[in-house]
């Protein structure tokens, strides 16, 4: 498994996606499918869920970055994903700062740390 | 003895179904062999108990090592997530600055996506026998956004790119921690399940069988003892009976005493005295 390059996918609002694309993670695969999705005000939840599921099934994506407020919308799809790869990371957006209480992963270990650790 | 309905020892535990031979020398053979069989079963059971206990201790140690690593990773995850919050804020800020000076370049950026420069590799790490996937990022190819911002705001854009590159590195590290976390969680659950299974199912079962075998051996011993005593009694009775019989016959004069060589005073065979 080592040696095979994998991509970082992004699902976020326009600013987040632009920033990360400038960071150099964007790619179109041979079917001209991008590894990112720009979520605007009129993007439906189904579209987001579909793209998320597609990213999960693609075997060349190792990490999926998703804005936390979008993750809230498709929380059920995130919670259903139990594998360790691809890793799903929740990142804050400009309007919504990071809230540790809503993070899928941290919720699994909720009993093991106290509020002091989060400060 | 009360015969058990179900026993892992089968017909050996039901003496009414065992065939007993009472004739001659073969008789004591059938005594010795079942007892030997029981003793062997006892040693086998003892060995199995020892094995199960050793296995349980090893698994407990593995579970402890995994839990320790798990907690370390969790702590690191929390720290890194807090740090990431800060880094993302900075990056978003520099994006706003760049937009201010360079105008809206989002559409051009999105249109010009071609090949990724930053990719990740998955490597394997090993903790107490559990393989954890670890991500490592690497660069390849050239920057496809070299020409963006040449018109205006080039410096802000360069700063922006640097900030986001830093954010990406941090996020890759965070992703590694997260995958380790999830994998360890599963592994710990499985190991704990095994420990509990051994502790609450297998070891009590072996201990019960061992106790049963020991009671069987004791029972056998008591049976033997009782049988020997009975035989002795019977022999005594038989002996007394035959002695009485002899007395009667002697008294009735039926018995001819054989000639006693030592008691005779005159020997008829001697011709000359």
From chain A, pick out residues whose CB is under 8 angstroms from the CB of B75: 113, 117
What residue in B sits closest to A24 (Cα-Cα)? B117
| Dist. CA B189–CA A41, nearest whole Å | 41
Give the length of chain A.
119
What's the angle, vertex CA B178, arms to CA B167 and CA A91, rounded to 5? 40
> In what helix (H) or strand (E) does residue B113 lie, and over which residues does it extend?
none
Mean pLDDT of B25-48: 70
B146 burial (CB, 10 Å; 0-12 / 13-18 / 19+) is exposed
Whether ipTM tops 0.85, in short, is no
A residues 3-22 closer than 8 Å to B (CB)? 3-8, 14-22
Domain ranges of chain A: 7-109
pLDDT by residue (tens digit) across B158-198?
A: 888 888 888 888 999 998 988 888 888 889 999 999 999 99
Q: What is the pTM of this model?
A: 0.69
Cβ of residue B124 closer than 8 Å to a chain A Cβ: yes
pLDDT-derived band at B240 (thresholds 50, 70, 90) equals: very high
pLDDT greater than 70 at residue B147: no
CATH class of A7-109: alpha beta
User: What ranges in chain B are assigned the alpha helix state H?
Assistant: 26-102, 106-111, 154-197, 203-251
pLDDT greater than 90 at residue B139: no
| Dist. CA B117–CA B224, nearest whole Å | 87
> Higher model confidence: residue B117 or residue B47?
B47
| Dist. CA B199–CA A19, nearest whole Å | 54
């Amino acid at each position: 498994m080592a040696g095979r390059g994998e991509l970082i996918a992004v699902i976020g609002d326009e600013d987040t996606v632009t920033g990360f694309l400038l960071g150099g993670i964007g790619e179109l695969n041979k079917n001209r499918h991008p590894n990112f999705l720009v979520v605007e005000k009129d993007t439906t939840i189904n579209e987001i869920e579909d793209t998320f599921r597609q990213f999960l099934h693609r075997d060349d994506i190792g990490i999926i970055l998703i804005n936390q407020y979008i993750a809230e919308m498709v929380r059920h799809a995130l919670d259903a994903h139990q594998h360790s790869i691809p890793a799903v990371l929740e990142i804050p957006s400009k309007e919504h700062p990071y809230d540790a209480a809503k993070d899928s992963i941290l919720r699994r270990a909720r009993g093991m740390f106290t509020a002091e650790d989060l400060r | 003895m009360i015969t058990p309905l179900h026993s892992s020892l089968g017909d050996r535990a039901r003496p009414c179904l065992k065939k007993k031979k009472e004739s001659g020398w073969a008789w004591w053979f059938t005594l010795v062999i079942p007892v030997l069989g029981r003793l062997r079963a006892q040693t086998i059971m003892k060995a199995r108990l020892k094995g199960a206990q050793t296995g349980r201790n090893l698994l407990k140690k593995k579970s402890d090592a995994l839990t320790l690593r798990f907690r370390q990773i969790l702590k690191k995850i929390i720290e890194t997530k807090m740090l990431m919050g800060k880094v993302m804020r900075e990056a978003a800020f520099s994006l706003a600055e760049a937009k201010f000076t360079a105008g809206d370049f989002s559409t051009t950026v999105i249109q010009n996506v071609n090949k990724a420069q930053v990719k990740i590799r998955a490597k394997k790490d090993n903790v107490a026998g559990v393989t954890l996937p670890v991500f490592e990022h690497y660069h390849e190819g050239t920057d496809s956004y070299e020409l963006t911002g040449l018109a205006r705001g080039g410096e802000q854009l360069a700063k922006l790119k640097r900030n986001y590159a830093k954010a990406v590195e941090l996020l890759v590290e965070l992703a590694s921690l997260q995958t380790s976390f999830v994998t360890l969680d599963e592994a710990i659950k499985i190991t704990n399940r095994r420990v509990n299974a051994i502790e609450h199912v297998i070891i009590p079962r072996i201990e019960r069988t061992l106790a049963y075998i020991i009671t069987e051996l004791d029972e056998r011993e008591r049976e033997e003892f009782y049988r020997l005593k009975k035989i002795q009694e019977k022999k005594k009775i038989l002996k007394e009976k035959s002695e009485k019989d002899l007395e009667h016959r002697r008294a009735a004069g039926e018995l001819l005493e054989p000639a006693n060589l030592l008691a005779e005073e005159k020997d008829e065979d001697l011709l000359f005295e």
